[in-house]
Chain A
Amino acid sequence: MSIKSIDPRITREKLPEENDITPLKEIHHWQTYEVFHQAKTGDHHIHVGSLHAPNSEMALILAKEQYARRYSCINLWVVKTSDICRTTNDEEEIFGTTPDKIYREAGGYKVMDRINKFKQK
C-alpha cells in the first residue's frame, strides 16, 4: 500500500507506508563545524552555534544560510569542531585566583591618600 495524500504530488510519489530504509550511521550527516559571526566592522566575531558539513567550503555556505539569513552580518568563520582546543569545566579552578590579582589592575593603585598626607606635612 502506498500513501494517499490530499496533496497529489505526494500521492504520485507512491511512498511506501512502512519504513524501508537502512538506518543512518554516525557521520552519514557529516562532520560538525562551529560558526563565528561578525555583525559589523569593529565587532569581535562571536560564536553563534554549530552545523554539519562535509568540508569547510560547504560549511561556509550552510553557515550563511543557517546563521546569516536575517540582520547584519559582514563576515563568517567556520572551524571544524575537532580542531578546537578548550579547557574543561572541571579545571575551572585554574582561573580561581585571577580576580584576586589586584596588582594587574589600574584600580589596584591608590596613591591619592599618600599624596594628600605628603602635602599636609
Chain B
Amino acid sequence: MYGGGYIFEDPKNTESATEDSVKLRNFEERIAAGEKIEPSDWMPAEYRKQLIRMIEQHAHSEIIGALPEGTWITRAPGFRRKLALMAKVQDEVGHAQLLYSAAETLGKPRENMINDLITGKSKYSNVFNYPAVTWADTAVIAWLIDAGAIINQVANSKGSYGPYCRALERICVEESFHLKYGHDNVVFLATGTPKQRQMVQEALNRWWPPIMHFFGPSDRISVHTETLMRWKVKMASNDDMRQKFLDMYVPKIWELKLTIPDPKLSKNKETGLWDYTEPDWDEFKRVINGDGPCNKERLAVRRRAEEKGEWVRKALMKPDERYTVPLS
C-alpha cells in the first residue's frame, strides 16, 4: 500500500515572482523532456514543499496502514496465512522506511515527520481510520486497497523526483505479492461455505465506501493541481484513477458473485466510464480531520510504539553524532 487521495495544499503561489525565471524555465524544460530531478538539483520552493508533503503522507500511510492488518497476525487462520500476513505487514513498514528516506532527501528530517504524524499534524490515507472487523476485512484490504495503491504508485513512479520514483519501483514489485495474496484470500472465502461467503460480502460492504474515497475527492471539488501535474508531482487525476480501478476490479468482484453496495454502479456504454453514486465527501473530510472510527487509536498505537522503542534507540545512540541527509 498505500498512498492515494493525497491532500495537497492549494498551490496558488507556484508562479511566485521570487523564483529565478531562468532556472524555473530550465527546470520545467527538463521535466517536460522526461528528465528526473535529483536532490541536489535546483528546484522551486513550492515543488519541494508539495513533494515533502506528498511523500510524507505516503510514508505515514504505509506505517499506519500496517496497523489494521497487523492486528490480525496473532489470529490469522492457519500458519501459512500467518507467515504471509507477517511478510506483508513487514513490507508495508519497509515501504514507510523507503519513503521517509526519499522525503528526507528534500530536507525534512525523519524525526520531524514522525512528530508531525503523532501529533496529528500530517495526514495519512483516510482508509486506515476504519477498523478491520473480521479476518475477511484483511482479505478485502490486501486485495482492493492494495490494488488502488498500485494504480496510484505505478502512476507516481513515472513522476519527476528521482528518489521517490526509485523507492516506488521497489515498492511496486512487493505490492504485486500483496495483491495476489489478497486476491487469494478473498477467492478462498468467496468460493467457500455460505458462512465464509457472508463474511467476505459483509467486509466488502464495509470497505466499499472507503475504497471509493481512496483516490481522493472528485476533480470537480479538489484543489487545482495543474502546476503539480506539469511538474509531474501529481501524475493522474483522482477521477481517472478511480475509473481505472473500477475498470480493473469491478468485473473481478462480480465474477465471484459478490455484490457491490452501490445500486448505481454500472459502466456507461456511451461514455465508456463507470457511473456510481457520488461518495460522501463530507464524511471523507470529517474522518480525515480526526473524527473517524479509529483515528485516535491509530495515533495512540503509533505513539506507544515510539515510546516503547525509545530506550533502545537511546542506549545505542552516540551523543556526538550529527544527522546527515541521505543521498538519494
Contact = CB atoms under 8 A, between A and B. Distances in A.
Contact of B174 (A9, A15, A52, A70): A70
The secondary structure that dominates the B interface is helix
B120 A7 contact: no
Contact of A50 (B170, B297, B306, B327): B327
B113 to A, nearest CB: 10
B94 A66 contact: yes
A82 interface: yes
A3 B313 contact: no
A15 B300 contact: yes
A23 B94 contact: no
B97 interface: yes
A24 B45 CA distance: 25
Interface in B87-103: 90-91, 94, 97-98, 101
B48 interface: no
Contacts of B74: 9
Contacts, number: 122
Given A58-B316, A66-B97, A31 B324 contact: yes
Contacts of B316: 30, 54-55, 58
- Indicate the size class of the contact surface on chain A: 35 or more
A58 B170 CA distance: 22
Most chain A beta-carbon contacts within 10 A, residue among B104, B306, B324: B324
Contacts of B40: 88-90
Contact of B304 (A13, A25, A88): A13
- Indicate the size class of the contact surface on chain B: 35 or more
A105 interface: no
B115 interface: yes
A60 interface: no
Interface of B: 38, 40-41, 71, 74, 90-91, 94, 97-98, 101, 104, 109-112, 114-115, 118-120, 131, 133, 166-167, 170, 173-174, 294, 296-297, 299-301, 303-304, 306-307, 313, 316-318, 321-328
Q: 9 closest A-B pairs (Cβ-Cβ)?
A: A50-B326, A54-B316, A15-B300, A24-B111, A82-B324, A81-B324, A32-B326, A89-B40, A23-B115
Interface of A: 3, 5-7, 9-10, 13, 15-17, 19-21, 23-32, 34, 47-52, 54-55, 58, 65-66, 69-70, 80-82, 84, 86, 88-90
